[in-house]
């Protein structure tokens, strides 16, 4: 018996037995900057939707640039910029429904404001105010600092929704560096086994903190990692907001049908990992310049101009409105009363257990043991 299996192994050829990623073809979804007609580049989006996508991307960048300046002036704490990733964030958020849930990392400003979170909340968060963590009306979980943990939280939320029969999708946002964390793989495995309504949206911005993608994984893509867990996977041009929107729209529908999805949005972080980072120490100006020509806002503006949906007068007005909104959001954050330690416990539990309920009355002789 052993002899027969041995000879058969060599008769069929080694290449037919061993799995090889060279046999896998990765086709990246892209709509913009191609030879396709204008109607095909816009896909199924209306004029109004194209303009709204552009407006949200511009607002996200204006916020980002102001936040960077405020941090350098010492007015807010450490900040993780998103410049260059506006299409990935806005396009994916725009494709979701109001019933869907977002589990962000620390860089999802574009996602969150598109989903309705006030800009002032981000300033509050960067100032260390407890109110910056709490958003009960936008289906957005608090910012997750622990790398990859939000993937497990999204799986838990998806399982709960599946159990209760809700028609909603749970979306975890993570970077390419986070895909090396165990939490990411555990979440994908669990999602595949239980066929959960969850999407793992990876913003592959090429660098994690200072580790280039080729040192992060030996795979041709991050999208192909979905195959190992029996879920759907797709790679999209993350600087093409039209493509991101259509891919995410399809992903939401698949997830609602019990097909978890891993989306890899290939993009580029134009700035530092955070304001505590110096990208000049690990990447070259050539790296940055090669991606500048693929800037997501520049590409979308070109589409709008070619479709005669935009002009410089509208551009000037949009920038003015965006700058005013960001300035007002910062003023709102400054004027809010400073948070107290007990506020943290009130946010976490409702109603508070006896041990925590008495904490707020500690100055009046309550039991402060907790």
Q: Which helix (H) or strand (E) holds 203?
A: strand 198-204
DSSP string for 246-282: HHHHHHHHHHHTT--EEEEEE----S-SSTT--GGGT
Q: Which residues 6+ apart lie within 8 Å of 224 measured at CB?
A: 21, 24, 26, 233
User: Does 273 participate in catalysis according to the annotation?
Assistant: yes
CB 174 within 8 A of CB 155: no
| Residue 314, SS3 per DSSP | helix
Torsion-angle region of 189 (φ positive above 0: left; ψ -120 to 50: alpha; else: beta)? alpha
163 is catalytic: no
Token pair for 239 = 């600087």
User: Quick check: is 269 catalytic?
Assistant: yes
164/99 Cα distance (integer angstroms) = 14
Take residue 119 and report the two structure tokens written for it: 């800009």
**Which position among 273, 294, 299, 330 bears the catalytic label?**
273
CB 86 within 8 A of CB 297: yes
d(CA 237, CA 244): 7
Of the residues 75, 194, 282, 283, which is catalytic?
Answer: 282
**Which of 129, 269, 294, 299 does the annotation list as catalytic?**
269
Pairing of strands 101-103, 170-175: parallel
| Beta strand spans in 121-255 (E) | 170-175, 198-204, 232-237
Active site residues: 269, 273, 282
């Amino acid at each position: 018996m052993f002899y027969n299996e041995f000879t058969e192994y060599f008769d069929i050829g080694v290449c037919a037995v061993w799995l090889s990623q060279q046999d896998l073809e990765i086709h990246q979804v892209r709509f913009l900057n191609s030879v396709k007609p204008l109607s095909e580049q816009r896909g199924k989006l209306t004029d109004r939707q194209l303009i709204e996508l552009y407006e949200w991307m511009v607002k996200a960048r204006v916020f980002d640039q102001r936040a960077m300046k405020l941090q350098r002036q010492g007015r807010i704490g450490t900040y993780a910029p998103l410049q260059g990733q506006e299409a990935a964030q806005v396009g994916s958020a725009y494709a979701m429904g109001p019933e869907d849930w977002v589990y962000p990392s620390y860089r999802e400003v574009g996602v969150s404001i598109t989903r309705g979170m006030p800009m002032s909340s981000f300033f509050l968060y960067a100032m260390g105010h407890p109110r910056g963590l709490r958003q009960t009306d936008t289906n957005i979980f608090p910012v997750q600092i622990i790398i990859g943990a939000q993937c497990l939280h999204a799986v838990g939320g998806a399982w709960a929704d599946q159990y209760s029969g809700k028609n909603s999708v749970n979306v975890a946002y993570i970077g390419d560096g986070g895909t090396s964390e165990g939490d990411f793989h555990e979440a994908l495995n669990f999602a595949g086994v239980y066929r959960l309504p969850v999407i793992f949206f990876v913003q592959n911005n090429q660098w994690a903190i200072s580790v280039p993608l080729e040192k992060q994984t030996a795979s041709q893509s991050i999208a192909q990692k979905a195959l190992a867990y029996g879920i759907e996977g797709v790679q999209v041009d993350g600087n093409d907001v039209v493509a991101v929107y259509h891919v995410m729209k399809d992903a939401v529908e698949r997830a609602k049908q019990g097909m978890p999805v891993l989306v890899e949005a290939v993009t580029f972080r134009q700035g530092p990992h955070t304001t505590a980072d110096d990208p000049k120490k690990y990447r070259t100006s050539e790296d940055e310049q090669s991606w500048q020509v693929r800037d997501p806002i520049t590409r979308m503006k070109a589409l709008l101009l070619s479709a005669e949906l935009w002009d410089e007068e509208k551009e000037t007005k949009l920038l003015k409105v965006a700058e005013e909104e960001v300035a007002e959001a910062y003023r709102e954050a400054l004027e809010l009363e400073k948070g107290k330690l007990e506020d943290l416990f009130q946010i976490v539990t409702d109603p508070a257990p006896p041990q925590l309920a008495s904490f707020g009355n500690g100055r009046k002789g309550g039991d402060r043991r907790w």
